[in-house]
Amino acid sequence: MIVISLSCAMSPKPSSPTAAPSATPAADATPSHSPPAGSSSSGFVTAPDRELARVKPASEAACVLSAQEWSPDGEESVLRLRKGGPPFARAAKGSVQLEIPLGRDTDSVFVRLERNGWEIAGHLGTDAFSLRPARAMVFEGFLVPLPLADLRWDEARAGELLVTLSPSRGVKTTATVLRATHPCADVTIDDRSSFDANSVLPPGARRDGVLRARAGIPLSVEAGGAPVAWLDPPNGDVQVQVMESRGAFVRIAWTHFEEIVFGWVPVGDVRTKGAQATAAYGLLGLLGAGGGTSALSSNVTRYRCERDVSLVVDVHGEVVVVGRVLAGTRMDARDRMDGMVRVNLPSTAPVAALPGASFGVPEGDLAGCQVER
Q: What pLDDT score does 25 carry?
A: 36
Residues in the chain: 373
The pLDDT confidence band at residue 373, using thresholds 50, 70 and 90, is: low
Q: Where are the alpha helices (DSSP H) in the chain?
A: none
> In this structure, is residue 37 part of a structural domain?
no
CB contact set of 195 (below 8 Å; sequence gap of 6+): 133, 134, 135, 136, 147, 282
Mean pLDDT of 4-28: 38
Strand partners, 98: 65, 111
Query: Does residue 83 register a pLDDT over 80?
Result: yes
What is the rounded distance in angstroms from the CA atom of residue 9 to the CA atom of residue 361?
32
What mean pLDDT, rounded, does the chain reach?
A: 83
> Which SS3 state, helix, strand or coil, does residue 336 take?
strand
8 A C-beta contact, residue 132 and residue 148 = yes
Residues 176-189 have a mean pLDDT of 95
Confidence label for 75 from pLDDT (cuts 50, 70 and 90): confident
Identify the band that residue 252 occupies on the pLDDT scale cut at 50, 70 and 90: very high
> CA separation (Å) from 247 to 214, 217, 251, 263?
21, 17, 11, 14
Residue 96, beta-bridge partner list: 67, 113
**Does pLDDT of 39 surpass 50?**
no
Number of H helices and E strands in the chain, helices first, is: 0, 31
With beta carbons less than 8 A apart as the criterion, state whether 156 and 100 touch: yes
- C-beta separation of 221 from 251 below 8 A: no
Residue 40 or 99, more confident: 99
User: What CATH number does residue 230 fall under?
Assistant: 2.30.30
pLDDT for 342 beyond 50: yes
Report d(CA 241, CA 212) in Å as an integer. Answer: 13
Residue 227 lies in a domain: yes
Whole-number CA gyration radius for the chain: 27
Lowest mean pLDDT among 7-11, 133-137, 306-310: 7-11
Strands 318-325 and 53-54 come out as parallel
- Is residue 208, in this structure, part of any structural domain at all? yes
Within its chain, how far is the Cα of 105 from the centroid?
18
Question: Of 21, 18, 117, 22, nearest to 368 (Cα)?
Answer: 22
| pLDDT computed for residue 321 by the predictor | 97
- Separation in Å, CA 138 to CA 94, 126, 171, 202: 31, 24, 15, 12
Amino acid type, 69: E
Instruction: Determine, yes or no, domain membership for 316.
Output: no
**Rounded to the nearest 5 degrees, what angle is found at the Cα of 113, between the Cα atoms of 341 and 110?**
105
Share of the chain above pLDDT 90, in %: 69
* Residue 191 pLDDT class (50, 70, 90 cuts): confident
Please tell me the predicted confidence (pLDDT) of residue 273.
67
How does pLDDT run across 153-173, given as a tens digit for each residue?
999 999 999 999 999 999 999
Of 47-56, 229-238, 321-330, give the lowest mean pLDDT range: 47-56
- CA dihedral (358, 361, 362, 363) positive or negative: negative
Dist. CA 311–CA 98, nearest whole Å:
19
What is the pLDDT, as a whole number, of residue 210? 95
Contact 6, 64 (CB under 8 A): yes
Indicate the DSSP class of residue 54. E
Q: Among 94-98, 179-183, 272-276, name the one with the lowest average pLDDT.
A: 272-276
User: How far apart are alpha carbons 230 and 371 in whole angstroms?
Assistant: 69
Q: Which residues on neighbouring strands pair with residue 227, listed in sequence order?
A: 220
Position 363 pLDDT exceeds 60:
yes
Does the pLDDT value for residue 71 go beyond 60? yes
Question: Domain of 264?
Answer: 201-277
The pLDDT value recorded for residue 171 is: 96
Cross-strand partners of 323: 120, 311
The pLDDT score that the predictor gives to residue 18 is 40
| CB 8, CB 184: distance < 8 Å | yes
Segment 190-194 shows an average pLDDT of 89
- Residue 266 counted as domain residue: yes
Mean pLDDT within 352-373: 92
- Range ranked top by mean pLDDT from 2-11, 18-27, 297-306, 346-355: 346-355
360 sits in which H/E element: strand 357-362
The H or E element that residue 134 is part of is none
Q: Is 77 domain-assigned?
A: no
The answer to the question of residue 238 being in a domain is: yes
Count of domains observed in the chain: 1
Judge whether 282 lies within some domain: no
CA angle 7, 8, 12 (to 5 degrees): 80
- Average pLDDT on 52-67 reads 94
Written as one letter, the residue type at 93 is: K
Predicted local distance difference test score (pLDDT) of residue 106: 86
Write the pLDDT tens digit of every residue in 101-157: 999 978 999 999 999 999 999 999 999 999 999 999 999 999 999 999 999 999 999
The Cα–Cα gap between 291 and 81 comes to 25
How would residue 353 be classed by pLDDT, with cut points 50, 70 and 90?
very high
Q: Which amino acid would we find at residue 209?
A: G
Say whether pLDDT at 50 is over 70. no
